[in-house]
Structure 1
């Protein structure tokens, strides 16, 4: 079997796993559903990933790359670091209003895994660290005295808005979070 013949089923497997897990969660998504949706045999899945958690972790890594690219590209629509930090909440509002919004895949899956060393939890942690670095960069460009601390506060607002939008079904919570972010930036003298 050549590399492209191997890659295609694995790509399909990771895509299907990501979609199923994002919509239904890890526990609610059985291996039978993954096998059926992807067309990849259980034997092949375990050959390449060993465990369901490792499969889910790899699917989440792909989601992280795609989500961060979407977020970074979206921020570029706004001119300057302050507009980008506040514009992040405008991006969230668009996402919250979309038909495929089911909350943050990383918060959702991390909440299903107890062990902090589980591969799923590690991917979720890495995603949040990457998002904080993205925000820290803009806080530094803006001239914040403590850019990492400010970025952490903004990340709390982002995660809170995502969670609230999922639970309440309201996309307008992003506008509320944006107003709090504006107040925070003013309090920082930015």
Structure 2
């Protein structure tokens, strides 16, 4: 008889499962990846997976929630190294350019999942919306620190760059958006 799962074993299996599912869902799409594929790649029995996450939807939500935390922390760490408020806003687009240039970049995970599942999953839709609200709030705070009323246009430029870069698989939209934001920041200051 197998030994009972410990809290540490649960944590390790959960992390393995989340890492595996995130990689597969991001690379291939949520609908294209079945739970058998997740099981095989994670090396965990399907029964164990469903003990950790009762449904595939629960797993998708957990993947998105964890990715949100890491994604926004990475962005903040990059941006907050810059002291001057306008340069901080521009640093967002430098960070986006680096992300867009990473091997395996497939666009914004939340836009992708929303495109796949739309409103079919209320839990996933809530998670996508929560991420977008949090990102917009984070970016809007950096824009407000410039003293200029440009939060919404800057947010739209960032979102547009993400969507476009994901489609064309080229980091150049970040540079184009950065140039537009630089113009907005300069024009609003006059």
TM-score past 0.5 threshold? yes
In structure 2, what is the equivalent of residue 151 of structure 1? Answer: 151
Counterpart selection for 1:48 from 52, 57, 69:
52
Deviation at 1:103?
0.7
Q: Is the 8 A contact 1:116 1:122 kept in 2?
A: no
In structure 1, what is the equivalent of residue 140 of structure 2? Answer: 136
Counterpart selection for 1:80 from 74, 81, 84:
84
CA RMSD of aligned residues (A): 1.7
Q: How does 1:11-160 map to 2 (within 5 A)?
A: 11-115=15-119, 118-144=122-148, 146=149, 150-160=150-160
CA distance in 1, matches of 2:161, 2:144: 23
Counterpart selection for 1:4 from 8, 15, 20:
8
Deviation at 1:98?
1.4
Of 83-92 and 109-118, the range deviating more from structure 2: 109-118
Q: Is the 8 A contact 2:161 2:177 kept in 1?
A: yes
User: Unaligned regions of 5+ residues in structure 1, if any?
Assistant: none
TM-score when normalising by structure 2: 0.90
CA distance in 2, matches of 1:116, 1:88: 32
Show CA shifts across 1:61-114 (max 9, x none): 111111011100111232222101111111111111111311111111111112
Of 18-27 and 150-159, the range deviating more from structure 2: 150-159
Q: Is the 8 A contact 2:106 2:169 kept in 1?
A: no
Q: Is the 8 A contact 2:105 2:169 kept in 1?
A: no
Of 79-88 and 64-73, the range deviating more from structure 2: 79-88
User: Unaligned regions of 5+ residues in structure 2, if any?
Assistant: none
